[in-house]
């Protein structure tokens, strides 16, 4: 029986149990689209022993890239459910996992490729789950036939894992007579010959990758999975810097953070392309760490700086040479 208060809240005066039940069974709010939903929330159901648990930890450690994370989770879900469907005797459709990564330099493409390789290994798609990262010079040879041989050798090395071709566009750059075309043809042939034995990821700047796919009408359909790597905001770059500093057992003084933020803001404002480079941030941190070491040595000589001093990055440790922007 309903109590008086609930009945009064119902507004009719009479107890209406059916209404109460309808409240309990109210349909769940539609889920936010993956883009707005942090991956840690999407994957709440992932148990500690699940193959995704470790992947999730690695993804969670990365700043931003919610859409990328959501896509990786989708791939995991697809692999998992495909396994269940196969076990139930249902058709699982074509299993093609070759991918295109579109993003500016330093937006995390290589890091994600490594995570994808690990995911495929854990899910039994790939035997080894290693990553072979190559660029044009690794694939293209000096004489006719050399390119095909070099490319085939690298594909063989990548079997059981991921072959990651960075700056893939440069393979199409030279036109018909360029050996880059031979590399592409060899890769496409290898995709047929070694079906499901390796995953090919082509990566590059967004515009260049688009041009590349246009250069060969057979290409787009061979890469059903496309992942876009968005540019980082200055806030995200600063957060990445803070993570990197912490990982290395250092701390930035607030003024040092402010100086870095200012510098990144200027770079983003002045650069011709979309500056979004986590790698630049890493180099800046590593350089500051070297400057800090020199500063401490000069200051203390053979003396002993305190623990806090050893950890502290001061604003003067960040110095920007004009040749590095
Ligand atoms: N979202 C992120 N959070 C934390 N660290 C990041 C993030 N993205 C990139 N990094 C770090 O920045 C560095 C560069 O990343 P990575 O090499 O994956 O980028 P990339 O897109 O492959 O760059 P490039 O196009 O120059 O090859 C790495 O040290 C990586 O760990
Ligand atoms: Mg890279």
CATH number for the domain that contains residue 104: 3.40.50.300
Question: Which tens digit of pLDDT belongs to each residue from 272-315?
Answer: 766 778 999 999 999 999 999 999 999 998 899 999 999 999 99
Pair 263, 303 in one domain? yes
Q: Rounded to whole angstroms, how far apart are CA atoms 229 and 163?
A: 19
Question: Which tens digit of pLDDT belongs to each residue from 218-259?
Answer: 889 999 999 999 999 999 999 999 999 999 999 999 999 999
Averaged pLDDT, 31-36: 43
Averaged pLDDT, 59-74: 94
Pair 204, 283 in one domain? no
Pair 278, 159 in one domain? no
pTM beyond 0.85: the answer is no
Pair 179, 153 in one domain? yes
Residue 60 has pLDDT above 80, yes or no: yes
pLDDT of residue 38: 56
Q: Rounded to whole angstroms, how far apart are CA atoms 166 and 202?
A: 6
From the alpha carbon of 107, which atom of ligand 1 is closest? 21
- For ligand 1, the distance from its centroid to the CA atom of residue 61, given in whole angstroms, is 12
- Higher per-residue confidence, 170 vs 244: 244
Pair 219, 146 in one domain? yes
Whether 283 maps to a domain, the answer reads yes
Residue with CA closest to ligand 1 atom 18: 108
Pair 224, 144 in one domain? yes
Whether 41 maps to a domain, the answer reads no
Q: Among 102, 106, 243, name the best residue to mutate to test ligand 1's pocket (greatest count of ligand atoms within 8 A of Cβ).
A: 106
Whether 37 maps to a domain, the answer reads no
Whether 313 maps to a domain, the answer reads yes
- Sequence-separated (6 or more) residues with CB below 8 Å from residue 105: 205, 276, 277, 279
Q: How confident is the model at residue 45 (pLDDT cuts 50, 70, 90)?
A: low
Average pLDDT, the chain: 84
Domain of 260? 234-324
Pair 207, 154 in one domain? yes
Question: Which tens digit of pLDDT belongs to each residue from 83-128?
Answer: 999 999 999 877 889 999 999 989 999 999 999 999 999 998 999 9
Pair 261, 181 in one domain? no
Whether 221 maps to a domain, the answer reads yes
Q: Rounded to whole angstroms, how far apart are CA atoms 40 and 215?
A: 39
Pair 199, 318 in one domain? no
- For ligand 2, the distance from its centroid to the CA atom of residue 122, given in whole angstroms, is 23
* Percent of the chain's residues with pLDDT above 70: 83
Q: Among 236, 279, 283, 285, name the best residue to mutate to test ligand 1's pocket (greatest count of ligand atoms within 8 A of Cβ).
A: 279
Pair 106, 220 in one domain? yes
Residue with CA closest to ligand 1 atom 11: 278
Question: Which tens digit of pLDDT belongs to each residue from 149-162?
Answer: 999 999 999 999 99
In the chain, the number of structural domains is 3
Residue 22 has pLDDT above 50, yes or no: no
Find the residues whose C-beta lies inside 6 A of ligand 1: 62-65, 103, 105-111, 166, 240, 243, 278-279, 282
- For ligand 1, the distance from its centroid to the CA atom of residue 279, given in whole angstroms, is 6
Q: Among 66, 103, 107, name the best residue to mutate to test ligand 1's pocket (greatest count of ligand atoms within 8 A of Cβ).
A: 107
Q: How confident is the model at residue 4 (pLDDT cuts 50, 70, 90)?
A: very low
């Amino acid at each position: 029986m309903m109590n008086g208060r609930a009945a009064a809240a119902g507004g009719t005066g009479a107890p209406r149990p059916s209404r109460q039940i309808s409240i309990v069974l109210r349909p769940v709010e539609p889920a936010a689209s993956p883009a707005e939903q942090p991956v840690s929330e999407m994957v709440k159901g992932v148990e500690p022993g699940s193959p995704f648990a470790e992947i999730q930890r690695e993804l969670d450690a990365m700043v931003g890239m919610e859409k990328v994370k959501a896509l990786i989770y989708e791939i995991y879900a697809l692999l998992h459910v495909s396994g269940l469907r196969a076990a139930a005797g249902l058709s699982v459709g074509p299993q093609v996992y070759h991918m295109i990564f579109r993003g500016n330099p330093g937006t995390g493409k290589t890091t994600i490729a490594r995570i994808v390789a690990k995911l495929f290994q854990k899910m039994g798609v790939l035997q080894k789950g290693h990553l072979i990262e190559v660029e044009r010079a690794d694939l293209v040879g000096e004489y006719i036939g050399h390119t095909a041989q070099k490319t085939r050798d690298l594909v063989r090395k990548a079997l059981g894992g991921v072959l990651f071709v960075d700056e893939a566009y440069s393979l199409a750059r030279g036109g018909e007579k360029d050996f880059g075309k031979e590399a592409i043809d060899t890769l496409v042939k290898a995709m047929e010959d070694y079906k499901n034995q390796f995953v090919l990821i082509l990566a590059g700047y967004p515009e260049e990758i688009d041009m590349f796919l246009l250069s060969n009408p057979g290409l787009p359909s061979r890469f059903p999975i496309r992942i876009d790597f968005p540019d980082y905001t200055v806030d995200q770059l600063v957060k990445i810097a803070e993570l990197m500093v912490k990982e290395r057992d250092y701390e930035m003084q607030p003024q040092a953070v402010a100086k870095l933020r200012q510098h990144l803001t200027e770079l983003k404002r002045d650069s011709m392309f979309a500056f979004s480079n986590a790698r630049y941030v890493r180099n800046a941190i590593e350089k500051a760490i070297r400057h800090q070491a020199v500063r401490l040595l000069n200051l203390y000589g053979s003396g002993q700086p305190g623990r806090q001093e050893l950890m502290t990055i001061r604003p003067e440790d960040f110095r920007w040479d004009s040749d590095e922007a």
